[in-house]
Structure 1
């Protein structure tokens, strides 16, 4: 009984305050009244400002006609804010008639309804009912503010405060509603209410509700549809109409409220005619559920799921979007951004077509493949595909081996991949350092397999290494001395390692870093001699951007995936921009292209060449055990990296037949098909002319070192500006231990490696024996240093006999000891 009395007193006090506040607003505002209740009312906050509503963010790519196409939407609340004229009048009338018939005449609180509610709640300890549209709007604003709080405990506390059913909350809501009415027009309040209202699940606002439940815009809702949606507002999760009949009575309950409350209220308030009412009542609630484009899985429709996911990681990682990751991600999901990306749908489709043609989504082992295109000079990422469908649903990826959440194209922080060894594609950075330090493409290097002394590799950063390193060339070739240009075209491992011996390992690493190269796992780049051959694990996007720098006169531009962002009000926001810096001088880049052009024109990548009239350059890469295979190349307009390899495991790609093709050739087939299509759209021009000195070098005379000791030959070559290489001993007619020959001889570019061969003294030169008598022939043979035991005479040997020939012939060499000299005679 005591509780009931207190309830009556409490609600009566509220009613008294409201009557005073509404009837004598001046008194309430100035605080002249002595009544304690009025004083309590005035001490409450009087104004609440609606924050920007949480809206879904849309991500777009660009179609061939230049128009955007939606890739995906990301949201916490599926909401699209619309204007007054974008909402059907049926909706506005239904809300007012049902929720607050005196909306346009009261000052934020309906006194008559409040008094009735006070009487109805007199025996309760909580306050409910009598909530005007303005009061409901206030409550929704407070809920929205609560949901925007980052801290979970604070967010929950604020939400409970905004939704609790108590007298003090109701009183505060009323005061704020009165204040709201003083700041905004009735239409603005109603519009705000319709845009903020929950419609069940993650659907908020009348536009998203219309699109989700009926597949139409809010402006096109029929009376029956509008009344059905307004019915949901009363109990969003109980009256939402996307619950199948077998799972609940939602649709029936929604129709009951529509027919018993909403439509009758509209008829009573003269918002609809009797005929309209009858027609709407006769129309069953028949939803047409249109699932919203949510999450990057929906971008799989144009094979852009992984690119979409890359964009979301940019937002999470880039401080442009907020001070920390949680803030950035919340802003992304609630900010209503319109994100226009760099993705070219034409190129994306061409890339996916090439990928699907040659690399299956699943195979006998964990086969992976990636293609990425970067635009030289801008860093814009134009295409990004792999041989999987994107899904971040663990249940999907656990059972579907053709789906993955890991983006093979990007770094770990941008998609979960730790990268792949890039093999000989990494040689371009040794090539760049070679040319930077004044060497030329025409310099000669020993390309034969061998064991290298690691102490001979300079490293100004770490001090270098000790021990030895035994290396062979791909396929076991031993090409001998080759020019750097030839070594690049044919990807000669030993030539590049010996080039590195003449350079500084630390500077090679710094040059790679100048091209934007870094490990995908975030660890520092390695700079051991083996790293020259590409043992660092790097993302395809990173390699594509590095090759784009070569095509861009040596200017490296950081990759970017976003062209423009608009906020929910249409204002343009800052976006992460590409930063361009010089990796190498233009003349170095132009000369690199000559050697790298040979790769695709006549070297290891001829299968990649589209031969479409557009100049290209590139570099192949194959890792140990053929675990990973690469081709990265470019025109003046596009740089594209293709990787085909093992995601996990070590199956030889080269020695595996995949979809009827040699696995080692798939990278070439993909690149050629894709770039043929891409060239058709973007074209390409000739590359700049190379630096003649860097191309040809300065040719100088090689000293004549024949007959010298090895030390004397070394000194003579070094003094002339050449590098000395001991080629070992060979069979020779020269004195043992003296120089027999060199490769090359004559002239070579200064700085070339001259391989010097010393004689083992084992060869003798056969003298001219024809016409001599056998005795005279024996004396000539002995004088030539040939052992008599090696000689066999064929024919008469008396005093009248004459020599008619020998095998080997005169002037030819014969090894001392085991070789045979056959002398032919006849009677004189």
Structure 2
């Protein structure tokens, strides 16, 4: 089979070789007239010929331009080819010329349009292997690009198909045709004119054509000023502009750039020192802070950020072509009509409110928001406080082209830390595991930690008083408290609450949710399973800004140190509003071709990801956040309109959120700085004055994000009916009766899993016992008891030491607050009541316009044990 195939292939290629020889003889004898088009090349002499090629849309509109429409039918943008700036030879760096020749055609200056050596090598390679190797010269490539531009301009699909042919007779005919054109062109133009024409015509990725536009776009320079490293980067892009674009794939672009530099050195075009110096600069360094206007039509759109998002979304649609290049080609040349979901008035109003909330300020704080329709996933509004510009402001907050609302795949900065936005998913998993809305959580006695999270009264390793004398009550959690594979990476994890409050031994789940109590949620997560919470988040569409799954380790999964985009958060929270149905966010409802025929898009359908009763129970808990007793009290809507939501703040208050929903709309509002590579504020985010808002103390999700959410949602619902959700079932509210399973003698982890399967939660209390360390000695209530699922079970776990062997718990150094007395050693196995904790002052009830209640709308200290080795410490989350 192989030999027969090779023989046939060799015979065919020899025929082509013979035809080439005959053709060259004919051309050499002058018996064939120049092909139509080649004379035009000669007459225009170099770059002048490109004046007839289409430029940017505003200067030379195409008959087949596409249109992007808002939901009301108004035009948002008219995508069209091409971003190109024609320059003369003297305006192009010699390094650029050398780099392009080195990588594409090292014998460019020696051949006459056909490189016999390269062609012979290609023939032999193609005849003796299954690989297809080209023998095209730079001149031939130039011919092909020019012909394709003409075919695209004329809308000649057959000509485009023939130009793209690579195999069979069509491929051979195309090659012969290009050879004839190339030889003719070499007789009429100088080498420099051909090279300059090539550099003006080539596609350099990211919607930029020609070396001048590429230099400006990627490096904020001109073609005449390109350095060796910059020139080599651009030269490397041409062969595969989608795969090696410096923006989307900097690593691949850098590898290709280094190949170009190697070629330049091998051909004595640069010295070894110049090569090494150029390789010392990463592609990321070359483009960082330099990306500029690619002259896409979105820059003139009424909502350029949404326009960019739509364009990026369309380039992911297989229905428009096999590759992003093909999809872009179709979008910018085939007269498509793209109908989107954008409510222009709503989006404009949202943008205005964001700019009023975070006008230019010394703290480099900006804001962004996305609005999604529950039940459809339609993106009805998307805005941010910055001005859209490729000429970014120095802080990259006032002016930028980076879309803060979307994921990296759609041009976003990678998201922002979501903080306690993540806690909603722990509530879902708790209800899934049978914990009812009216449950009471048992929380272990707090330990004492330094401000850096070091556990000072650790019985196994007591620590001295910190030098600054500052200590805090903390919840202390250990590896075995969480699911295997989704636990902490250190021996322990200390968790702080806002204002060091809410350390009661028991807390209603409603209160924990409304006040966002960190220690309560860490306790709850240990009971319901951190791996399972991660799975719930993923099912509900919550992922990181770079597209990866949520980090399953407790500091991230519980307190939200992961990075997410506002659009992802809004779409995920819409699943609560719609009763557990998740719809992937979509900005486009329909795409029509130039004849008005609909192009079927491949879109992920809406899917039920949470049982409706579970969703209703979660909404019941999240409604408590948007109440006078909740951390989101500043988001209460006019007229008492029902709404649920969650505040969020990271550990240094640089990222704050309010995400909330009604049955009609889900909106996520972000307020903060340190977005992507924006300029950070040097000071602490405390006692700020931003626009007309004075922030006393740290910047929280309740400071600016929540009141901005309220203002927008009140406006957006002004003409909408007042709707509410149904009440969850009695079982979801109050739980059901189950029997405590036999867990005596089990490991702590296995016992917790057994309780979870029974729909119960288990807190841990360590007792002196000669039973193996970590094994369950007894439970309270006892094994076999019939209890409701809202009743927590206490697992009394052995320390491995008999009571007489145990050392008394070290007393912490006197603190500003009174400390809880250590429990006296208890005999085993008979259960003994733990000593009552010292009373704490109850939180003061909030007045109509007082400071917010003592919820955890500020960080919880991560301390040691923040995650697996090598992970970043968690955000202090509200």
Query: Which TM-score tier does this pair reach, normalised by the shorter chain?
Result: 0.5 to 0.7
* Deviation, structure 1 residue 417: 1.4
Q: Tell me the residue number matched to 2:312.
A: 313
CA displacement, residues 182-215 of structure 1 (integer Å, 9 cap, x when unaligned): xxxxxxxxxxxxxxxxxxxx9xxxxxxxxxxxxx
Q: Tell me the residue number matched to 1:474.
A: 498
Q: 1:76 aligns with which of 77, 81, 91?
A: 81
Contact 2:534 2:550 in 1 (8 A): yes
* Deviation, structure 1 residue 322: 1.6
- Relative to structure 1, the CA distance from residue 457 to residue 326 in structure 2 (aligned partners, 3 Å threshold; closer, same or farther) is farther
- Aligned equivalents of 2:175, 2:720: Cα separation in 1: 53
Q: 1:535 aligns with which of 549, 556, 561?
A: 561
**SS in structure 2 of the partner of residue 416 of structure 1:** coil
Contact 2:780 2:793 in 1 (8 A): no
* Deviation, structure 1 residue 397: 5.5
- Aligned equivalents of 2:329, 2:822: Cα separation in 1: 82
Q: Tell me the residue number matched to 2:729.
A: 691
Map 1:357-396 → 2, pairs under 5 A: 357-360=356-359, 362-391=360-389, 393=390, 395-396=391-392
Contact 1:150 1:326 in 2 (8 A): no
Contact 1:72 1:294 in 2 (8 A): no
* Deviation, structure 1 residue 611: 2.1
- Relative to structure 1, the CA distance from residue 537 to residue 609 in structure 2 (aligned partners, 3 Å threshold; closer, same or farther) is same
- Aligned equivalents of 2:685, 2:165: Cα separation in 1: 49
1:548 aligns with 2:574: yes
- Aligned equivalents of 1:8, 1:710: Cα separation in 2: 104
Output the TM-score relative to the length of structure 2: 0.52
**SS in structure 2 of the partner of residue 435 of structure 1:** helix
1:439 aligns with 2:463: no
* Deviation, structure 1 residue 615: 1.2
1:577 aligns with 2:603: yes
- Relative to structure 1, the CA distance from residue 681 to residue 58 in structure 2 (aligned partners, 3 Å threshold; closer, same or farther) is farther
Map 1:247-258 → 2, pairs under 5 A: none
Contact 1:306 1:390 in 2 (8 A): yes
Q: Tell me the residue number matched to 1:337.
A: 336
Q: Tell me the residue number matched to 1:757.
A: 834
Map 1:97-176 → 2, pairs under 5 A: 141=154
Q: Tell me the residue number matched to 1:568.
A: 594
- Relative to structure 1, the CA distance from residue 655 to residue 733 in structure 2 (aligned partners, 3 Å threshold; closer, same or farther) is closer
Map 1:419-498 → 2, pairs under 5 A: 419-446=415-442, 449-461=473-485, 465-480=489-504, 481-498=506-523
**SS in structure 1 of the partner of residue 624 of structure 2:** helix
Map 1:187-226 → 2, pairs under 5 A: none
- Aligned equivalents of 1:462, 1:738: Cα separation in 2: 32
CA displacement, residues 685-739 of structure 1 (integer Å, 9 cap, x when unaligned): 111211222222358999xxxxxx9889954424346422889999999996579
CA displacement, residues 229-279 of structure 1 (integer Å, 9 cap, x when unaligned): xxxxxxxxxxxxxxxxxxxxxxxxxxxxxxxxxxxxxxxxxxxxxxxxxxx
* Deviation, structure 1 residue 143: 7.9
- Aligned equivalents of 2:152, 2:434: Cα separation in 1: 73
Contact 1:451 1:468 in 2 (8 A): no
Q: Tell me the residue number matched to 1:257.
A: none
Q: 1:403 aligns with which of 399, 402, 417?
A: 399
For structure 2, the 5+ residue unaligned runs are: 1-27, 37-61, 84-149, 189-206, 208-294, 447-472, 741-766, 770-775, 798-808, 812-817, 839-878
- Aligned equivalents of 2:386, 2:313: Cα separation in 1: 21
Q: Tell me the residue number matched to 1:605.
A: 632
- Relative to structure 1, the CA distance from residue 654 to residue 755 in structure 2 (aligned partners, 3 Å threshold; closer, same or farther) is farther
**SS in structure 2 of the partner of residue 629 of structure 1:** strand
**SS in structure 2 of the partner of residue 59 of structure 1:** strand
- Aligned equivalents of 2:180, 2:430: Cα separation in 1: 69
Q: 1:412 aligns with which of 408, 412, 435?
A: 408
Larger radius of gyration: 1
* Deviation, structure 1 residue 645: 1.1
* Deviation, structure 1 residue 655: 3.7
Contact 1:372 1:640 in 2 (8 A): yes
* Deviation, structure 1 residue 633: 0.4
1:631 aligns with 2:658: yes
Contact 1:738 1:758 in 2 (8 A): no
**SS in structure 1 of the partner of residue 547 of structure 2:** coil
**SS in structure 2 of the partner of residue 624 of structure 1:** coil
**SS in structure 2 of the partner of residue 601 of structure 1:** coil
- Aligned equivalents of 1:506, 1:732: Cα separation in 2: 33
**SS in structure 1 of the partner of residue 834 of structure 2:** strand
- Aligned equivalents of 1:612, 1:442: Cα separation in 2: 26
**SS in structure 2 of the partner of residue 440 of structure 1:** coil
Q: Tell me the residue number matched to 2:706.
A: 668
* Deviation, structure 1 residue 59: 0.7
- The worse-fitting range, judged by mean Cα deviation, of 685-694 and 157-166 is 157-166
1:297 aligns with 2:299: yes
**SS in structure 1 of the partner of residue 626 of structure 2:** helix
Q: 1:678 aligns with which of 716, 731, 751?
A: 716
* Deviation, structure 1 residue 620: 0.7
**SS in structure 1 of the partner of residue 441 of structure 2:** strand
For structure 1, the 5+ residue unaligned runs are: 1-5, 15-52, 79-136, 170-201, 203-292, 703-708, 740-753, 762-828
- Relative to structure 1, the CA distance from residue 390 to residue 608 in structure 2 (aligned partners, 3 Å threshold; closer, same or farther) is same
1:516 aligns with 2:514: no
Contact 2:364 2:395 in 1 (8 A): no
Question: CA RMSD, aligned part only?
Answer: 4.5
Contact 1:724 1:756 in 2 (8 A): no
Q: Using CA pairs below 8 Å that are at least 6 residues apart, which structure has the higher relative contact order?
A: 2
- Relative to structure 1, the CA distance from residue 614 to residue 584 in structure 2 (aligned partners, 3 Å threshold; closer, same or farther) is same
Contact 1:545 1:558 in 2 (8 A): yes
- Relative to structure 1, the CA distance from residue 157 to residue 605 in structure 2 (aligned partners, 3 Å threshold; closer, same or farther) is farther
- Relative to structure 1, the CA distance from residue 524 to residue 578 in structure 2 (aligned partners, 3 Å threshold; closer, same or farther) is closer
Q: 1:723 aligns with which of 789, 793, 813?
A: 793
Contact 1:358 1:669 in 2 (8 A): no
- The worse-fitting range, judged by mean Cα deviation, of 398-407 and 601-610 is 398-407
Contact 2:317 2:601 in 1 (8 A): no
Map 1:225-304 → 2, pairs under 5 A: 295-299=297-301, 301=302, 304=303
* Deviation, structure 1 residue 640: 0.3
**SS in structure 1 of the partner of residue 67 of structure 2:** strand
- Relative to structure 1, the CA distance from residue 164 to residue 464 in structure 2 (aligned partners, 3 Å threshold; closer, same or farther) is same
* Deviation, structure 1 residue 466: 5.0
* Deviation, structure 1 residue 58: 1.0
- Aligned equivalents of 1:474, 1:157: Cα separation in 2: 76
Output the TM-score relative to the length of structure 1: 0.55
- Aligned equivalents of 1:345, 1:149: Cα separation in 2: 43
Q: Tell me the residue number matched to 1:591.
A: 617
Contact 1:605 1:620 in 2 (8 A): yes
- Relative to structure 1, the CA distance from residue 735 to residue 579 in structure 2 (aligned partners, 3 Å threshold; closer, same or farther) is closer
- Aligned equivalents of 2:560, 2:825: Cα separation in 1: 39
**SS in structure 2 of the partner of residue 377 of structure 1:** coil
1:659 aligns with 2:691: yes
